[in-house]
C-alpha cells in the first residue's frame, strides 16, 4: 500500500476507517456505491396531479339514458296480476260463504223468528243514530217472523249501561236471544276508548255467563256521518241473534238424541 498522502489504486485493499483521508485532505476520494443492479438508486415517485389537473368525465345527459333504464309506465290495457293473498284482501268486508266438506256432522242455525221471543237493550245516547239502529232491527225481526208482542225493548242511558241490561235480559230466561244496540262517537278525550271497550267486553260477557246468544249492535265511529251510513248494523245484529238462537236449539236437540 502506498504511503500517506499518496494516491490509492482501486486494486489496493481498503484502508481502515481512521486511515482514510478526510474531506479537504490530500488523497481524499468520495465514496462510490458498489457496481451492480442491486444497488440502483431508488425511484423517485412522481408527484400526484393537483385538483386543477384532474379531469372528471362528464355524466351522460338525461336524454341519453335508454328507455329500459328509466321507470317505464305500465302499458295501456294491461293490469298487474294479483296473487292469491292480494286478491283475498282487495275488499275490506266480504260476506264469503263457508264450504264444509261432505261427511261431517254440521250444526248450523238459520235466522228464523217463528215462535221466538227477543229482548233488545238500546242506548238513548246519540238517540238519532240509536233510533235508526232500532228501526232497522225491528224491521228485520218482523221480516224473519218475530211477532211484535214477542219483542221486549229496554232503553238505557248510554252504551256503558248496555252490558248490565243485556245481562239482566239474558238471566231472566224469557228470551231466545238478546240484541244490544247503541252508538259511541269518538271525541277529543280518551272517553271513547273506555266506553267502547267496556261495552264490547261486557256484552260478550253477558252471553258467555248465561249461555243466551247476545248480538253486538253497537257502532263505534269517528263521526255522526259514519254512523248514519251504518244503520243496517241493527238488521245484521237481529239476524245474528236469531241464527245463534236456532243453532243453540239444534245443539240441544242433538245432545238429547
Active-site residue 99, yes or no?
Answer: no
User: What single-letter DSSP state applies at residue 129?
Assistant: H
User: What single-letter DSSP state applies at residue 149?
Assistant: G
- Candidates 213, 145, 207, 220; CA nearest to 181 is 220
CB 111 within 8 A of CB 249: no
Cα–Cα distance, 120 to 179 (Å, whole number) = 5
CB 165 within 8 A of CB 152: no
* From 110, 191, 197, 251, active-site residue: 191
Residue 161, classed as helix, strand or coil, is helix
Pairing state between β 151-156 and 177-185: unpaired
Catalytic residue annotation: 191
Amino acid at each position: 500500500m502506498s504511503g500517506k498522502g499518496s494516491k490509492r489504486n482501486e486494486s489496493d485493499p481498503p484502508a481502515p476507517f481512521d486511515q482514510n483521508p478526510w474531506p479537504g485532505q490530500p488523497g481524499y476520494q468520495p465514496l462510490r456505491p458498489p457496481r451492480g443492479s442491486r444497488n440502483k438508486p431508488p425511484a423517485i415517485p412522481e408527484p400526484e396531479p393537483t385538483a386543477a389537473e384532474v379531469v372528471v368525465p362528464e355524466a351522460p345527459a338525461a336524454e341519453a339514458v335508454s328507455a329500459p333504464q328509466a321507470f317505464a309506465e305500465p302499458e295501456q290495457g294491461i293490469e298487474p296480476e294479483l296473487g292469491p293473498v292480494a286478491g283475498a284482501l282487495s275488499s275490506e268486508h266480504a260476506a264469503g260463504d263457508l264450504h264444509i266438506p261432505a261427511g261431517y256432522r254440521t250444526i248450523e242455525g238459520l235466522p228464523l223468528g217463528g215462535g221466538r221471543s227477543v229482548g233488545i237493550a238500546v242506548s238513548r245516547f246519540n238517540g238519532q243514530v240509536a233510533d235508526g239502529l232500532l228501526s232497522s232491527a225491528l224491521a228485520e225481526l218482523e221480516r224473519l217472523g218475530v211477532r211484535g208482542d214477542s219483542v221486549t225493548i229496554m232503553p238505557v242511558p248510554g252504551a256503558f249501561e248496555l252490558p248490565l241490561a243485556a245481562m239482566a235480559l239474558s238471566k231472566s230466561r224469557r228470551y231466545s236471544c238478546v240484541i244490544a244496540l247503541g252508538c259511541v262517537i269518538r271525541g277529543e278525550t280518551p272517553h271513547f276508548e273506555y266506553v267502547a271497550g267496556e261495552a264490547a267486553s261486557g256484552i260478550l260477557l253477558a252471553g258467555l255467563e248465561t249461555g243466551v246468544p247476545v248480538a253486538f249492535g253497537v257502532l263505534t265511529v269517528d263521526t255522526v256521518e259514519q254512523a248514519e251510513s251504518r244503520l243496517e248494523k241493527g238488521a245484521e245484529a237481529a239476524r245474528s241473534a236469531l241464527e245463534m238462537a236456532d243453532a243453540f236449539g239444534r245443539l240441544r236437540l242433538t245432545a238429547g238424541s
